[in-house]
Amino acid sequence: MSTRTVYLETFGCQMNELDSELVAGQLRTLGYRFVQSASDANVVLYNTCSVREHAEQKVWSRLGELKDRKLTDPNLIVGVLGCMAERDGTDLIKRMPVVDVLVGPAELDKLPGLLDNALRTRESLQAEPLVDINTNKPVMISANQVALQGSASRRSATLAAAGDSLELLDLSRSISPLDDDGPVSRSAYVRITRGCNKFCTYCVVPFTRGAEVHRPPDHIIDECKKLADAGAIEITLLGQTVNHYRFEHGAAVTIDGLTQPQKGRSFTGGHRRDPLAGANVTTFADLLRRIHDEVPAIKRLRFVTSYPRDFGDDVLEVIRHHPRICRYLHVPAQSGSDRLLKLMNRGYTVAEYLEFLDRTREYLDQPEIGRPLMLSGDFITGFPTETDEDFNLTKQFLVRCRYKNAFIFKYSPRPGTIAFDKLADDIPEHTKRARNNELLALQNQIADDISREQIGRTFDVLVEGLSRQTLKKQGKTSGDLRKAGQVTITIGGRNLAPDDRNDQSNQNDQPAACSTTATSVLEVPANNTAEKLQLACRTDGDLIVFIDHPAATANSLIGQILKARITTANMLSLQGELVEEVLKK
Ligand code: 5AD
Ligand code: SF4
């Protein structure tokens, strides 16, 4: 068998980044070698996102680029993973016959077997005609093209079966302190919940990722411990509505009601232990407490994305009293108009969201001890029927919320969603764009004010890597800095999505080493010790701080948590200086 070389590109959210990391880990242990360019690979995989049309278009164009190559290189295997595979199914293969393997998000553990099969039988393939059900014309589809979808069927699957299959990918995580190119990243993602039950009317996620399933707490804690043993000091827990986590012991997994709002729970109630379930339930607050106490080597514990309805006081209490849980919450609001929130089926009003916000600030905003609470949010502009009055309400709301950053998206109608079926996409593109830009400009002002407030404060910062500015000066591209086998992240990353996330210019200079990517280390010539390099660091509230540091020792600081004082704030980033260069034990 010839060498198996893989190019894996990831689109979309952190959940996809984690899926890609797990898939890459599985394939690596089977002997696949990862390369940085599709043209060097005999297996090309795209892990896709369907949340907005723009993300899908990128994948279509990548697939289009492979068409010619496929004609001359029949050994090429092309796989589409993730949400597009789930949503479009075999229609995707019919439109793009270049695709050999389709695997939905719930079936990713089966990818190695499918690829192996495709590679082994490649030479003996016979093309056979298939008829397109829409046009009645023959479609070329090769004999081993396979499509695996699961989320849709999972809605009616039994709990145990769903849980078993879904756990496999996460449990397969291979964690070792050293891999080919150096230590594992100091930051890692851990999934706690899959899927979503909220059914916001604009959103495809409940359809592509299926019903909400909560992972057993012992599995989560084991994974955190293994990551910590391998060198991770920061863990970000992932879930579409992460604070909705609730595990009922005795069931293989917990899938709760598919409709929302769920009866009997108050807006501020979160997941209180209900008397009938008693101690047999692990709530989100319980889980945070357990990870904090049982895995002390994790110096920073974050979680995204939170749902405003599900923030009970129990969770806020735990965050307040457990110092290694970060004072950073990403809690999308989507709109500041009650009328639109209702049309979006968000399940709360503006007043309820603001009540949550004030309560949370009361518990968690402690600038006097260097721990100001930082919030971020998401908004959609141009949702069907949005009037100038609705938009003005959203602007007022944005000012009131004072997010450190907000992701602002133009409404993108997604086939299969309730809004797509029931509401005409009646806001012209230029209005969507103008509102988007206006909201972004307003948010930039707010972020600028928040940045200036930090001057003179001292924070614990995690040194994540060299800044992009430094890397550019050194003539390094992000590609050079990824270790072999690193997945390529095209859109997404924590707060990082310049092309899809509508010019979030406050996030432009991201550290090269963020989220699950390898720590970037640069060779420093021995004769150049006076040179200063810019380090990109992050506070526990997710503020990015740049620190100039002598080149000779800059690398040794990467991955450490150090104290830094903020000296200047320019528009959207902070500059600081180290107060003490001692790794906090
Ligand atoms: N159009 C625009 N933005 C969307 N989002 C989700 N679905 C859509 C859509 N159809 C945004 C929401 C969500 C974020 C992940 O993506 O703001 O919070
Ligand atoms: Fe989509 Fe709403 Fe679920 Fe978020 S909470 S993933 S926006 S359906």
Instruction: Yes or no: say if 168 and 161 are a contact pair by the CB < 8 Å rule.
Output: no
Going by their DSSP bridges, the two strands 138-142 and 127-131 should be labelled as antiparallel
Say if ligand 2 is within 6 A of residue 198 CB: yes
Least confident of 2-6, 99-103, 484-488: 484-488
Share of the chain above pLDDT 70, in %: 75
Query: Using CA atoms, how far apart are residues 499 and 73, in angstroms rounded to an integer?
Result: 31
For residue 464, pLDDT over 80 is answered with yes
Task: Give the model's pLDDT for residue 278.
Answer: 59
For residue 500, pLDDT over 70 is answered with no
Task: Give the model's pLDDT for residue 74.
Answer: 81
Query: Using CA atoms, how far apart are residues 169 and 410, in angstroms rounded to an integer?
Result: 33
Task: Give the model's pLDDT for residue 3.
Answer: 75
Which ligand is closest to the CA of 201, given by its number?
2
Question: Which atom of ligand 1 is nearest to 305's Cα?
Answer: 18
Query: Using CA atoms, how far apart are residues 266 and 386, in angstroms rounded to an integer?
Result: 28
Say if ligand 2 is within 6 A of residue 307 CB: yes
Structure tokens at 345: 């089926």
Task: Give the model's pLDDT for residue 149.
Answer: 65
Check residues 394 and 477 and name the one with the higher pLDDT: 394
Q: Atom 18, ligand 1: which residue's CA is nearest?
A: 378
Q: Atom 9, ligand 1: which residue's CA is nearest?
A: 412
Burial of 28: CB neighbours in 10 Å, binned 0-12, 13-18, 19+: middle
Mean pLDDT of the chain: 82
Say if ligand 2 is within 6 A of residue 347 CB: no
Q: What is the pLDDT of residues 311-323, one digit of tens each?
A: 999 999 999 999 9
CA dist 293 → 111, 288, 299, 382, 584 (Å): 36, 9, 11, 45, 17
Which ligand is closest to the CA of 207, given by its number?
2
Q: Which of 378, 405, 439 to mutate to test the pocket of ligand 1 (most atoms within 8 A of CB)?
A: 378
Question: Which atom of ligand 1 is nearest to 334's Cα?
Answer: 17
Structure tokens at 339: 């009328």
Task: Give the model's pLDDT for residue 53.
Answer: 94
Average pLDDT over residues 477-498: 38
Length of the chain, please?
A: 585
For residue 512, pLDDT over 90 is answered with no
Q: What is the pLDDT of residues 548-582, one digit of tens each?
A: 999 888 989 998 999 999 999 976 789 999 996 54
Give the Å distance between the CA of 417 and the centre of ligand 1.
12
Average pLDDT over residues 22-33: 92
Give the Å distance between the CA of 441 and the centre of ligand 1.
19
Cα atoms found within 13 Å of the Cα of residue 413, Cβ hemisphere only: 15
Q: Which of 50, 194, 203 to mutate to test the pocket of ligand 2 (most atoms within 8 A of CB)?
A: 203
Average pLDDT over residues 100-109: 91
Check residues 400 and 488 and name the one with the higher pLDDT: 400
CA 200 to chain centre: 18
Task: Give the model's pLDDT for residue 440.
Answer: 97
Closest CA to 395 of 342, 439, 349: 439
Q: Which of 16, 51, 335, 381 to mutate to test the pocket of ligand 1 (most atoms within 8 A of CB)?
A: 51
Task: Give the model's pLDDT for residue 198.
Answer: 95
pLDDT category at 255 given cuts 50, 70, 90 is low
Q: What is the pLDDT of residues 33-57, one digit of tens each?
A: 999 999 999 999 999 999 999 999 9
* Close Cβ partners of 9 (under 8 Å, ≥ 6 residues apart): 38, 45, 46, 47, 62, 487, 488, 489, 490
Average pLDDT over residues 338-365: 97
Q: What is the pLDDT of residues 276-318, one digit of tens each?
A: 555 689 999 999 999 999 999 999 999 999 999 999 999 999 9
pLDDT category at 476 given cuts 50, 70, 90 is low
Least confident of 28-32, 111-115, 149-153, 366-370: 149-153
pLDDT category at 487 given cuts 50, 70, 90 is very low
Q: Atom 5, ligand 2: which residue's CA is nearest?
A: 198
Q: Strand pairing partners for 142?
A: 127
> Which of 154-158, 201-205, 519-523 tops mean pLDDT?
201-205
Write down all domains in the chain, each with its CATH number in brackets. 5-152 (3.40.50.12160), 162-326 (3.30.750.210), 331-452 (3.30.750.200), 458-584 (no CATH)
Closest CA to 4 of 117, 104, 95, 92: 117
pLDDT category at 75 given cuts 50, 70, 90 is confident
Least confident of 95-109, 206-220, 250-264: 250-264
Question: Which atom of ligand 2 is nearest to 203's Cα?
Answer: 1
Give the Å distance between the CA of 55 and the centre of ligand 1.
11
Say if ligand 1 is within 6 A of residue 332 CB: yes
Question: Which atom of ligand 2 is nearest to 334's Cα?
Answer: 7
Task: Give the model's pLDDT for residue 448.
Answer: 94
Task: Give the model's pLDDT for residue 72.
Answer: 87
Share of the chain above pLDDT 90, in %: 62
- For residue 138, whether the previous peptide bond is cis, meaning omega lies within 30 degrees of 0, is no
CA angle centred on 148, ends 176 and 169, rounded to 5°: 20
Give the Å distance between the CA of 110 and the centre of ligand 1.
29
Give the Å distance between the CA of 380 and the centre of ligand 1.
7
Give the Å distance between the CA of 447 and the centre of ligand 1.
21
Q: Which of 15, 155, 240 to mutate to test the pocket of ligand 2 (most atoms within 8 A of CB)?
A: 240
Which ligand is closest to the CA of 332, given by its number?
1
Check residues 129 and 6 and name the one with the higher pLDDT: 6
Say if ligand 1 is within 6 A of residue 425 CB: no
Say if ligand 2 is within 6 A of residue 199 CB: yes
Question: Which atom of ligand 1 is nearest to 13's Cα?
Answer: 15
Q: What is the pLDDT of residues 513-526, one digit of tens each?
A: 233 233 344 555 55
